[in-house]
A = this chain, B = another copy of it.
């Protein structure tokens, strides 16, 4: 249903970003990058969680030096996150798959030229990462920390690279609040066709980061904006990927596994729906076929939802119906419904493979 804005396709290692490539998920290690063992372990955890691209901070030369060994022990595409210091970028560019750097933060043009040359030699893209907390002074002075300032900063940094003959670019425009983030991405989107990396920055701990990121990234995904994304959480790595994937799925941007439609609690419910749905979630977690299923506690909306669901349960008093593609296939006691439902889901998932 969502029509994605068509962007230029670039490659971060073997992961395509933009164009018709699937929207990828990213995260960032929080170990000292100079600690190879810890960083490799975190990258492995991210890989296992389903992360597509990983980023490491490179605040010093020990970290830049460590990247080679890290690359040798991991297979996820690696982005070096660099600020201010062009020598760190040159060192990182020898081994990583992408550099995140804002040219405007590098003190001299010749230094940026050296970085661009190093990236061109190895076909590395550059992410321009505009952040509301680290805007160039000239834009902060002129506009304050607004979406306009972020867009102006992005345009300035894009032009900086384009003037040097470099256009292997992706762009992020992260603010620490949702409406500025959304406003900035929306304003910049019509002005170029570079792929966008989405994120709400510094979104806080798990619960509020989930809500902020779902609002901000979800709003943009519904607009068709976004080619890769990170959910920033003051918390654990796996959660960033779990939430990112949920946003992709629940916005409708990606079809992946069961979309479970289930009632809220209300006084019409005839069954222990919470337990039933929890059991179904657990028993169908392995299924990747994109199926729409509904588990409904009373007749008011159940038949309507079931008619358009691949597999459905409609609970009645002590018993209920299992429906497949809108047709009733079984009328069973309440305690037999989940088993039959899971059976039908597994059958349909197998047939769709």
Contact = CB atoms under 8 A, between A and B. Distances in A.
Nearest to A220: B219
Contacts of A201: 264, 301
Interface stretch (A11-19, A120-128, A172-180): A172-180
A222 B178 contact: yes
A342 interface: no
Interface in A226-257: 230, 232-237, 240, 243, 246-247, 250-252
Contacts of A291: none
A211 B208 contact: no
A211 B274 contact: no
A222 B145 contact: no
Given A267-B32, A267-B33, A304-B145, A2 B179 contact: yes
Interface residues of A, number: 89
A282 to B, nearest CB: 11
B219 A215 contact: yes
Given A132-B304, A218-B219, A232-B264, 18 more contacts: A1-B180, A28-B264, A59-B268, A81-B266, A131-B304, A133-B303, A133-B304, A145-B308, A176-B305, A177-B261, A178-B251, A205-B277, A207-B246, A208-B260, A211-B243, A215-B215, A215-B247, A234-B273
A24 to B, nearest CB: 17
Nearest to A309: B176
Contact of A277 (B219, B234, B264): B234
Interface in A253-300: 259-269, 273-274, 277-278, 281, 294, 296, 298, 300
Contact of A222 (B33, B179, B221): B179
A250 B176 contact: no
Nearest first, the 6 closest Cβ-Cβ pairs linking A and B are A215-B218, A133-B301, A30-B265, A214-B214, A232-B264, A57-B267
A31 B221 CA distance: 37
Given A219-B218, A296-B202, A212 B250 contact: yes
Interface in A193-228: 201-205, 207-212, 214-216, 218-219, 221-222
B240 A264 contact: yes
A97 B261 CA distance: 30
Contacts of A298: 59
Given A202-B296, A261-B202, A29 B304 contact: no
A221 to B, nearest CB: 8
Contact of A250 (B208, B259, B281): B208
A218 B214 contact: yes
